[in-house]
């Protein structure tokens, strides 16, 4: 893959909470397409740089890319502290994504109308939930959604939900778990001690391991991620069938095979598929992985590249005239 350059690093700050944003701007303004990736939980954009660079290598150059993290999930801006403003709610996270789309409308003129730059949101896990809530709020701004391993209903019924719900039942447990990160933040010579330790224990390598090292040494980020996970388990239950039906023609769906994704229960996938079938949704826009991908696909380089190329293909399929404008 050709050298594609480093992203511009910036932040979104709302009510004292910080989210990290990575931007790969197109060399022309306005771009023909704007692709915005909304992360899973934990919401650290660094996990997705390889995915986005692979998509960039497969799409016309007049495409601007963003990757937006979640409020409070910013080790750089809260390395050893808890936020004095508490932790953002799931609604806060969704509202932040809506605000970001509003800014893209104002700055780049994105919209579904002919001649406007097309905005494609890609969501991983809880990022898919944020995508759907955002298009519900701004239907005229967003042209397409790619929903990857989507956690939009019945999360507590998933294998991990069943296993971890007792931990999240008592919110008081979140603080002592998060405080473990304070000790790791004090480890000297991080490149020699903490980073290799994370690689060893997590079995991760390359950029994802470095991102994880930043995560586990930031008690504020750990607290925000765990609090968000608790709210996901408690609050995301029944499928919003009306929402799925309304935007059936703008959504691509991608799931693991049965048993490969411990965060998305089979009943959730079946219910989404049944809802789309009843609404006349195109079955070709619903794909079950045949490559053995897990929920955290970004931790596997081959899976990351494969899914990025698939998403790039979806972009060109939805907007076939874009390739001629490169």
**What's the pLDDT at 203?**
55
Under the banding of pLDDT at 50, 70 and 90, the label for residue 168 is: low
Q: Does residue 100 contact residue 68 with C-beta atoms inside 8 Å? A: yes
Q: pLDDT of 154-167, one tens digit each?
A: 999 999 999 887 77
**What's the pLDDT at 166?**
74
Q: pLDDT of 75-134, one tens digit each?
A: 887 645 555 567 899 999 999 999 999 999 999 999 999 999 999 999 999 999 999 999
Short-list 168, 128, 176, 171, CA closest to 148:
128
Q: pLDDT of 2-44, one tens digit each?
A: 456 789 999 999 988 999 999 999 999 999 999 999 999 999 9
Short-list 196, 201, 206, CA closest to 300:
206
Whole-model pTM: value is: 0.89
Instruction: Assign residue 10 a region (left: φ > 0; alpha: ψ between -120 and 50; beta: otherwise).
Output: beta
User: Which range is least confidently modeled, 33-37, 56-60, 189-193, 247-251?
Assistant: 189-193
């Amino acid at each position: 893959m050709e050298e594609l350059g480093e992203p511009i690093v910036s932040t979104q700050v709302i009510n004292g909470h910080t989210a990290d944003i990575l931007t790969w701007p197109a060399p022309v303004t306005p771009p023909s397409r704007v692709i915005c990736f909304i992360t899973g939980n934990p919401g650290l954009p660094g996990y997705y740089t390889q995915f986005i660079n692979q998509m960039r290598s497969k799409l016309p150059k007049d495409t601007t890319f963003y990757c937006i993290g979640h409020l409070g999930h910013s080790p750089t801006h809260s390395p050893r502290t808890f936020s004095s403003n508490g932790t953002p709610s799931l609604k806060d996270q969704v509202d932040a994504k809506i605000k970001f789309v509003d800014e893209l409308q104002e700055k780049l003129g994105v919209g579904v109308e002919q001649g406007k730059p097309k905005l494609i949101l890609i969501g991983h896990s809880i990022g898919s939930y944020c995508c759907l809530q955002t298009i519900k709020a701004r239907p005229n701004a967003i042209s397409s959604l790619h929903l990857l391993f989507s956690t939009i209903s019945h999360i507590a019924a998933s294998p991990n939900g069943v296993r971890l719900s007792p931990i999240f039942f008592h919110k008081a447990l979140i603080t002592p778990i998060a405080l473990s990160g304070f000790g790791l933040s004090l480890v000297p010579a991080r490149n020699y001690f903490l980073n290799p330790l994370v690689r060893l224990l997590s079995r991760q390598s390359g950029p994802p391991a470095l991102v994880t090292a930043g995560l586990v040494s930031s008690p504020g980020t750990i607290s925000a991620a765990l609090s968000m996970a608790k709210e996901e388990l408690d609050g995301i239950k029944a499928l919003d069938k009306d929402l799925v039906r309304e935007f059936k023609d703008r959504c691509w769906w991608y799931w693991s095979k049965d048993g490969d994704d411990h965060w998305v229960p089979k009943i959730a996938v079946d219910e989404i598929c049944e809802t789309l079938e009843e609404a006349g949704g195109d079955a070709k826009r619903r794909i079950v992985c045949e490559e053995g991908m897990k929920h955290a696909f970004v931790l596997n380089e081959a899976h990351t590249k494969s899914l990025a190329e698939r998403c790039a293909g979806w972009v060109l399929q939805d907007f076939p005239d874009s390739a001629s404008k490169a």
